[in-house]
Amino acid sequence: MVEYDVNEVWEKIKEAVKKEINPSPTDISYNTWFESLVPLCFDDNDTLILKAFADFHRDIVINRYSLVILNAIRQLFSPHLSIKVILPDEVEKYKRFLKPKQDEKPEIVTQLNPKYTFETFVVGNNNRLAHAAALAVAETPPGERTYNPLFIYGGVGLGKTHLMHAIGHHVLKLYPGTKVMYVTSEIFTNELIAAIRDEKTDEFRLKYRNVDVLLIDDIQFLGGKERTQEEFFHTFNTLYEANKKIILSSDRPPKEINTLEDRLRSRFEWGLITDIQPPDFETRIAILSKKCQLEGTPVPQHILEFIASKIETNIRELEGALNKILAYSKLMAPDKEITLDLAEKALKEFIDTNTKKELTIEDIQAEVASYFGIRLEDFKSSRRSRNVAFPRQIAMYLARELTNVSLPKIGEAFGGKDHTTVLHACEKIKELINTDSNTKNTVETIKKRLIHRE
């Protein structure tokens, strides 16, 4: 039987697998399925035992990652080693191989990203309130209620997930033994489906209602899923009544998730709702400087300013641009300082906007309909209910802002509306942008999606 430290072995395997498949930072499949595996022990047959959180998770790991994991462990350690992926209800069989410390650790269903902490989060005017609220929630002792639930919303790649992981890390640091669970709404839904199929809903409920801190990312994807919303409604109530912490994230505020049941929407508004806006120029430079510092890779200040001037909305894209420049530099000029010319070549697709297809009203209607969860034909209908009228006004406003189409033509594209109707809609949305932060965030989010579409 091997005498390797199972956690050290797993960390080295993860590094080897990352080099082999080279996942992007936003690779949902890799982050959801591979990163959530839990190394348990080696058995007496020199087999590394890994735990998946459900049978569908195990199947995906076996089909997608088992071969690359097996190659890594055999190349790094011994050709005689093998792997096995088990389910939570099989752990008892391997209990005698577990080290006491491993057995005592609070279980985190989806492992927290070690890079996502409060120490690595760059605070700016765009996220100061969200950061302060997240820190306050994390520092509140178990059993006490502060901003519960905490609801963080904002566009893609602005740091919502980073803050959620940071809360989890900070809670475990301050209050060891706390049961912390971080999942995406996709995982929650998939586990519920599996539990219903396998008649294990009691185990599912016990798992989610027996935690001290529940963090659910991208909660907007529960919209339209009636059974999942029903289950989460009761889970929310159980945790809330027991003074357990609930932290949720979304790309929009609760009242704009139209396919969400009213009873859930109202509960999401019980605590504190805070948003994260796109970072300003100075914050973008600070984010890039922090990343360089953490990576131990110096980059000239004027290069950071160049990147910050070209990537204005998305932190993931911002860091991705820096990574691309560093990789390009290593390949093309490994012994030279990064120059502006090299940076421009590396980021050609980011700054060459002339190749993008011109926006049409149909593009705008499709994006707005997707955001609000309505049908395209609703834009041309005469319905005046807010859940249709408000998205229609936003679509008209964006059509005027982002295209050169005349007001009468815009009205025609919206079911033959008069040009004065279009003008009224544009003026109303413009006024709301100046007076209502939720509307401003919604319009900016949709606009960014349109501008950065494929």
Residue 161 annotated as binding site:
yes
How many CA atoms, within 13 angstroms, populate the side-chain half-sphere of residue 237? 9
Residues 6+ apart with CB under 8 A from 1: 42, 43, 44, 46
Q: Do strands 47-51 and 180-184 pair parallel, antiparallel, or not at all (unpaired)? A: unpaired
Long-range contacts of 63-68 (CB under 8 A, 24+ apart): 64/29, 64/33, 64/34, 65/17, 65/33, 65/34, 68/17, 68/20, 68/21
Residue partners of 322: CB distance under 8 A and separation at least 6: 288, 291, 292, 299, 304, 307
CB of 366 within 8 A of CB of 379? Answer: no
Q: CA 231, CA 138: separation in Å to the nearest integer?
A: 25
- Compute the distance between CA of residue 407 and CA of residue 399 in angstroms, rounded to an integer: 9
How many residues does this entry show for the chain?
A: 454
> Following CA atoms 316, 321, 322, 328 in sequence, which dihedral angle do they give, to the nearest 10 degrees?
140
Q: Give the DSSP letter of residue 373.
A: T
Q: Are 74 and 108 in contact (CB under 8 A)?
A: no
Other C-beta atoms lying within 10 Å of the C-beta of residue 427: 12
> Nearest Cα to 384, choosing from 333, 436, 424, 345?
424
- Give the pair of three-digit tokens for residue 359: 């926006």
CA torsion sign, 318 to 319 to 321 to 322? positive
Residue 159 marked ligand-binding: yes
For 351-359, which contacts have Cβ atoms below 8 Å and span 24 or more sequence positions? Answer: 351/310, 358/403, 359/402, 359/403, 359/450
Write phi, then psi, for 71 (nearest 5 degrees): -60, -40
DSSP characters for 79-90?
TT-EEEEE-GGG
Annotated binding site for ATP: 157, 159-161
Annotated binding site: 157, 159-161
